[in-house]
Amino acid sequence: MGTLFFGDNLSVMREHIHDESIDLIYLDPPFNSNADYNVLFEDESGRAAPSQILAYEDTWHWGHESELALTDLLSDSSPCPEAGLLLDSLVRALGTNQMTAYLAMMAIRLCEMKRVLKQTGSIYLHCDPTASHYLKIMMDAIFGAEHYRNEIIWHYRASALTSAKNVFPRKHDTLLFYTGGSQWTFHRPRQDDVSEQMMQRWGRYLEEDGKTILYGSIKHEQKEEERSRKRIEKRTGRGPRDDDVAFEIKPSRTRSVWTDIPEVRQSHKYKEWRGFQTQKPLKLLERIINASSNPGDVVLDPFCGCGTAIQAAQATNREWIGIDITHLAIGLVESRLAEVGVTPNIVGAPRDLGAAQDLARRDPFQFESWAVTRLDGFRPNRIQRGDGGVDGRMHFPKPNGPGRRKSDTGIAIAQVKSGHWNVQDVRELIGAMDDPSVSADLGILVVMNPPGPRSQAPATAARAGITKIDGRSYPRVQIWSIADFFEGRFPNLPIALGRESRRLL
């Protein structure tokens, strides 16, 4: 039914999602008003995960990412030149600050969403008044002002979000609804319940079989004095009489101000609550999905958090794609889906050690590929078995090797151990390097965690000796851990053939 991606939605959309393949996009990106929400995601030790800190930095500080987004959008090959011009003007007017960094992050991603959305599709951008005015002109620039359909106010029932005494407490979010073209799917929904006004107007009512039933001897067209009589009867609290006629009152059709969906409270008595700070109510997502898609359509949530949109899409028989940059969010979506008996397909690049361990547990082959490609210039094996102990290899120029021609190339191989490992794995790596069909100059044993203090592995690796390449010395066998990777440490390797830079981003 669906796929969940770990990772930055920009690269996931670019690499995995085809043009015009999505029927409905709902996105609920972090808002500036809640700028510190990310640090609320803590792991079991109470620390914020590094991937979340990274996402936080990239979102809120004008830096390399923001410059890259602006340059891309202004370039000749820009997917959305209007968005580039708009962003450039905003940066000139407002300067490089948290707001423009946020808008740069959003602009480049919204352009990708425009690319993947079908002409008949719809997009709902969930935001709040902190940035909604800027986002609306950005949406006009990207999707076309003629494709703007609604600004929905979700007036939630919640305690005030500000303790300031000199402003009106905030009580709403804004959803910007645009379409991909001039024809789109729309099934106008009804309010979730019968409004207070209707109840007052129509007197006594009872909930029966999920319907709101009015018991009364009057009908809509009857006179005002009869209605008043019913209201009096309602207040007296008497139940239906034998001669009462039962008829159903339908809730009114939904307009652009939504007042009937409460916030998911931070309390365990609310069954939906997953402890995720920015979690949205299921009803909100069901309304959007039912209104703007049909069963079998594809729903994308590129900032999926704990997966409210995904759960709603699953429940309404839509296909879905969810993306989140944090392992924590992906784990929550997974457990949410498990409750309804669904095991999602999970794809993507971990951004911290926890995520890497998780990937190794779920899909060791994908983990192997991911781990090998952290080493600059290394290519993973495409097959899982029969690899002769080689999970990836890299070629490098080897100009002055003894007995070799000037143009000779050297080979480094990598072997990945995703679980428990010991000195025997080092010996096996040396065996694979020495195999005449491989004949590797260098070998890297990629492990999850570095060797412990009593491990024999480092000494065994050291005994494999030193290889000289182009006048420089490299340990022939090196042990490199994923923990090292996340701390920015890399093995000592020659530069790969055709590579200018040796660090992967």
Ligand X SMILES: C[S@@+](CC[C@H](N)C(=O)[O-])C[C@H]1O[C@@H](n2cnc3c(N)ncnc32)[C@H](O)[C@@H]1O
* H-only helix segments in 293-326: 308-315
Shortest distance, CB of residue 191 to ligand X, whole angstroms? Answer: 21
Would you count residue 358 as binding ligand X (CB under 6 A)? Answer: no
Of the candidates 231, 184, 240, the one whose C-alpha atom is nearest the C-alpha of residue 208 is: 240
Given the rule CB under 6 A, which of 175-183, 304-312, 382-390, 424-432 is the region that contacts ligand X?
304-312
Give the span between the Cα atoms of 309 and 289, in whole angstroms.
8
Given the rule CB under 6 A, which of 93-101, 224-232, 325-333, 491-499 is the region that contacts ligand X?
325-333
Give the span between the Cα atoms of 295 and 275, in whole angstroms.
29
- β-pairing, 172-179 vs 205-208, is unpaired
Give the span between the Cα atoms of 444 and 375, in whole angstroms.
10
Q: Which is nearer to ligand X, 323 or 360 (CB)?
A: 323
Q: Which is nearer to ligand X, 258 or 303 (CB)?
A: 303
Would you count residue 263 as binding ligand X (CB under 6 A)? Answer: no
Q: Which is nearer to ligand X, 6 or 205 (CB)?
A: 6
Q: What is the CA radius of gyration of the chain?
A: 29
Q: Which is nearer to ligand X, 51 or 369 (CB)?
A: 51
Shortest distance, CB of residue 461 to ligand X, whole angstroms? Answer: 37
Shortest distance, CB of residue 9 to ligand X, whole angstroms? Answer: 4
**Cβ atoms within 10 Å of 127's Cβ, excluding its own:** 24
The values of phi and psi at residue 301, to 5°, are -120, 100
Sign of CA dihedral 298, 299, 303, 307: negative
Would you count residue 276 as binding ligand X (CB under 6 A)? Answer: yes
Would you count residue 292 as binding ligand X (CB under 6 A)? Answer: no
**Cβ atoms within 10 Å of 79's Cβ, excluding its own:** 16
Shortest distance, CB of residue 448 to ligand X, whole angstroms? Answer: 23
Given the rule CB under 6 A, which of 161-169, 300-308, 341-349, 458-466 is the region that contacts ligand X?
300-308
Would you count residue 313 as binding ligand X (CB under 6 A)? Answer: no
- β-pairing, 205-208 vs 211-216, is antiparallel
> Of residues 41-80, which lie at the interface with ligand X (CB under 6 A)?
55
Of the candidate residues 13, 110, 312, 325, the single one contacting ligand X (CB under 6 A):
325
Given the rule CB under 6 A, which of 242-250, 272-280, 437-445, 488-496 is the region that contacts ligand X?
272-280
Give the span between the Cα atoms of 264 and 268, in whole angstroms.
10
Would you count residue 173 as binding ligand X (CB under 6 A)? Answer: no
Of the candidate residues 117, 125, 298, 306, the single one contacting ligand X (CB under 6 A):
306
Sign of CA dihedral 345, 349, 352, 356: positive
Q: Which is nearer to ligand X, 30 or 475 (CB)?
A: 30
Of how many residues is the chain composed?
A: 505
Give the span between the Cα atoms of 312 and 340, in whole angstroms.
11
Would you count residue 280 as binding ligand X (CB under 6 A)? Answer: yes
309 touches 319 (CB < 8 A): no
Would you count residue 336 as binding ligand X (CB under 6 A)? Answer: no
Q: Which residues of 470-500 are buried (b: 16+ CB within 10 A; e: fewer)?
A: eeeebbbbbbbbbebbbeeebbebbebeeee
Amino acid at 436: P
Shortest distance, CB of residue 132 to ligand X, whole angstroms? Answer: 14
Q: Which is nearer to ligand X, 9 or 478 (CB)?
A: 9
Shortest distance, CB of residue 123 to ligand X, whole angstroms? Answer: 14
Would you count residue 111 as binding ligand X (CB under 6 A)? Answer: no
Give the footprint of ligand X on this chain (CB under 6 A).
Answer: 8-9, 28-30, 55, 276, 278-280, 303, 305-306, 308, 323-326, 329
